[in-house]
Structure 1
Amino acid sequence: MNTESMAFATPKESLGILLGLVRAEIVRAMEAELAAQNVDLRFTQFLILKRLARLGPMSASELARSVELDGGAMTRQLDQLERKGYLRRCPHEQDRRALRIELTAAGDAMWQQLTDCNERVLAAAQRTLDESEQAQLHDYLERVLRALRDKN
Structure 2
Amino acid sequence: MEAELQASGVELRFTQFLILKRLALVGPMSASELARSVELDGGAMTRQLDQLEGKGLLRRHPHEQDRRALRIELTPAGDAMWRQMTPCNDRVLEAAQKALDPTEREQLRDYLERVLHALRDKN
Q: Is this a same-fold pair by TM over 0.5?
A: yes
CA distance in 1, matches of 2:119, 2:40: 20
Paired positions, count? 123
Structure exhibiting the larger radius of gyration computed from Cα positions: 1
Letter in 2 for 1:137: L
Cα distance, 1:146 vs. partner?
4.1
Alpha carbons of structure 1 residues 47 and 59: separation in structure 2 relative to 1, 3 Å: same
Q: Deviations along 1:89-123, whole A, 9 cap, x unmatched? A: 00110011111000000000100111110010000
Shift of 1:144: 3.1
Q: Which 4+ stretches in 1 moved above 2 angstroms?
A: 139-152
Structure 2 match to 1:76: 47
The separation in 1 between residues aligned to 2:41 and 2:122, in whole angstroms, is: 24
1:114–1:94: structure 2 CA closer, same or farther, 3 Å change rule? same
Percent of aligned pairs sharing the same letter: 81
Say which SS state the counterpart of residue 88 (structure 1) adopts.
strand
Where relative contact order (Cα < 8 A, 6+ residues apart) is larger, the structure is 2
What RMSD in Å do the two structures reach over aligned CA positions?
1.5
Cα deviation code 1:27-76 (max 9, x no counterpart): xxx00001101111000000000010111111111111111111111111
- Matched with 1:7 is none
Q: Which runs of 5+ in 2 are unaligned?
A: none
User: Which residues in structure 2 correspond to 1:18-37 (within 5 Å)?
Assistant: 30-37=1-8
Cα distance between partner residues in 2 of 1:151 and 1:95: 27
**TM-score scaled by structure 1?**
0.75
Distance 1:102 1:150, change over 3 A: closer
The correspondence of residues 97-116 of structure 1 with structure 2, limited to 5 A, is 97-116=68-87
